Structure 1
């Protein structure tokens, strides 16, 4: 492994990033465009954007003027959520519930929701000036918490790539899953963005099986073993470092790499074997923002910067008078990984996994 970056440098980077549509990253890179290279000073990323909700945050994003914007999933809410119902013939909650809380939408409805999201005036302005790339999570994949068993994934892959303006002849339209990678900038100032698909091949929760599947793992290993870059950003729709998936049980369990310990170990080992410095993660899904840090995975601190969401917030799960209670409980939720402030940085070698 090459010389590790100092912890001071990592901390300075982590807390120098601003929050607009999630965490904004300043990078000294460039991207080819219109036959010439131009400097990219900002990459923005975000997740969890309900197409039916107000989206005033696009005004702030456009004002920030990012050259690249990364979708990290739940780019629309395409599935249908039934109301909570404890009694009656269609109970959606309780120990004897007899219908699912979430059901898939039709192809026509999914397409309609994507069109509504894409037509948002603020997002339309962003698309005019920024390169938009991205992956998906469960609600735009088609069904809450779904994995490889979901039957609508082939059709929904086409709709997701249409939303991202993927060319009709793109290899992403032929492969199983929407994972992809991009390299921006000239040699010596390059940043590699790797976007994972944590849905198409994912085994069931509680299985400790695979998140990526064998084909995507082979692709990822090739990408990581490729030419070195100054920074490598790995985008995952679900959190990689944070251990809330274990610490919030048994009340509820968040989807995260921590639910698949063998996959997490394999990911860390691949980073070590690749001899890449400057690797960090970006993620979404959980409806709150967070920086998590893990010191004992690859020889230097790994950060996971969670941006979630563009319209969604964890306190929206309860009526407004109770919002402050949810915020307080979230603040109290234990996490040995969370970076709290510039002067309060956890240095953890403890990772809680739930199987």
Structure 2
């Protein structure tokens, strides 16, 4: 018995020693056909690089450039694997100061498939979730801890999605955090370092949008004085493919197979909720017109518009888009007049999950899938939204996540929405055909 204990203890110590150089990560950022973004955070200044190889040809190994982490960027390194080919799966390693770091779970990434002009687009699946609170007792509000059931990240990892879309409130800045760069980067680091999150980050490609809590204080808007600092932190800690506007918000887009994802910012240009003069901006005209242009250009059968807050819910409660009625009507009207097919909204914020279906005269309905919360305190609908057109049976008021699957032939694509609990057990599922959104 004593020998078994000593063996387990020595294995644990070895594991701790192997991880000691790493603060958080590695994390996979965007995946494209010819390059993949790799991210890691060390505990102190160090030289970092990634070595990777095609799983089918492990003899030939490639390396990223080497980067030196620094205190200013809280020792974060972002490196690009650019010696990759389309449709491949790769194993990778992390080297810190020329020494390989050992992990107790695999490290793998993938490149997207070159299917165009060759085959039907590949099937794929992706995870969706919002509202991640990770407790930190010395700085949290007194009382019952707000975050719980972190094992949900293990369930998402075991679901084996190709990528994950983090749809806002991916960390919670608090009073002690949001006014300074020190506080903001501390909080981002603390959330990113959650042990249960690490295998998911290391093996599933990650894309993100923000909402009020990772942008600034609760219900924060364009008047938040430190938004440039939180923007810098967001870009440092996430690996999105692009940003549509220089130093303005986190708007961007990426494509997976034949589907396109539009990451839309609901904070940077947002008019304060209680302001009574001037225009009422939610997305703002600059961003909204870009979004209409980008969706009009896209020929994707499903155009997923990812927003921190609810878009489809007509109830003028909390921070829903309905509170910005003139802009919302303009946006929906433009989608109709421009005859843009395949639009589906993905949102977070509410700390409970539901699928909203907004009917429109003479054209297809607009769906808004709200998925929340991952670890933050669960909530539920309020009486003011009793007439909201939620699809029957889709309300979930406990920790959950979405697992969305796209499959079918090129002109017969089908979206299957699965909502699962913290243990990965299915709560509800629904299919939507692309042909229904034309």
TM-score by length of 1: 0.69
Displaced runs of 4 or more, over 4 A? 170-173, 329-333
What CA distance in whole angstroms lies between the structure 1 residues aligned with 2:273 and 2:382? 23
Name the structure 2 match of 1:35. 85
Partners in 1 of 2:190 and 2:362 — Cα distance? Answer: 42
Q: Tell me what 1:77 maps to.
A: 172
State the distance in 1 between where 2:327 and 2:132 align.
28
Matched, 1:215 2:286: yes
Which residue number corresponds to residue 44 of structure 1?
127
Among 370, 388, 408, the alignment partner of 1:336 is 388
d(CA) in 1 for partners of 2:334, 2:354: 24
Q: In structure 2, do the counterparts of structure 1 residues 298 and 115 end up closer, same or farther at CA, with 3 Å as the change threshold?
A: farther
RMSD over aligned CA atoms reads 2.6
The 3 A distance-change label for structure 1 pair 116 and 104 is closer
Query: What residue in structure 2 maps to residue 181 of structure 1?
Result: 253
Q: Deviations over 1:129-177 (max 9, x none)?
A: 222111111111011111111111011101011111358xx55683311
Contact 1:242 1:335 in 2 (8 A): no
- Within 5 A, what are the aligned runs for 1:253-332? 253-296=317-360, 299-315=363-379, 330=382
- Cα distance in 1 for residues equivalent to 2:336 and 2:265: 21
Q: Is the 8 A contact 1:225 1:274 kept in 2?
A: yes
Contact 1:68–1:130 (CA under 8 A) maintained in structure 2: yes
Number of the residue aligned with 2:155 = 60
Choose the corresponding residue for 1:133, options 204, 207, 221. Answer: 207
Report the Cα distance in structure 2 between the residues aligned to 1:210 and 1:154, rounded to whole angstroms. Answer: 19
**Larger Rg, first or second structure (1 or 2):** 2
Give yes or no for contact 2:260–2:298 (8 Å, CA) kept in 1: no
Decide whether the 8 Å contact of 2:243 with 2:252 is kept in 1.
Answer: no
Moved more, 191-200 or 34-43: 34-43
8 Å contact from structure 2 (residues 305, 346) kept in 1: yes
Task: Quote the residue 2:270 is aligned against.
Answer: 202
> Aligned pairs, how many?
268
Judge conservation of contact 1:198–1:238 (CA < 8 Å) in 2. Answer: yes
Q: CA deviation at 1:120?
A: 1.8
Q: Which of the pair is proportionally richer in helix? A: 1
- Answer yes or no: is the 8 Å Cα contact 2:208–2:240 preserved in 1: no
Q: SS state of the match for residue 225, structure 1? A: helix
Q: 1:277 to 1:123 in 2, by over 3 A?
A: same
Distance 2:263 2:225 in 1: 23
Which structure exhibits the higher relative contact order, with contacts defined as CA atoms closer than 8 Å and separated by 6 or more residues?
1
Q: What SS is found at the alignment partner of 1:174?
A: coil
* Local SS of the residue matching 2:304: strand
Instruction: Note the residue ranges of structure 2 that are not aligned, 5 or more in a row.
Output: 1-30, 35-83, 88-112, 114-121, 136-146, 395-429, 431-438
Distance 1:191 1:304 in 2: 17
TM-superposed CA distance for 1:123, in Å, is 2.1
TM-score normalised by length of structure 2? 0.57
Question: Matched residues in 1 for 2:311 and 2:362: separation?
Answer: 14
Q: What displacement does 1:122 show?
A: 2.8
Query: Which of the two has greater strand per residue?
Result: 2
Note closer, same or farther for the CA distance 1:35–1:273 as it changes in structure 2 (3 Å cut): farther
The partner residue of 1:108 within 178, 182, 185 is: 182
| Matched residue, 2:98 | none
Correspondence for 2:311 = 240
* Structure 1 unpaired stretches of 5+: 1-29, 82-102, 246-252, 316-326, 346-355
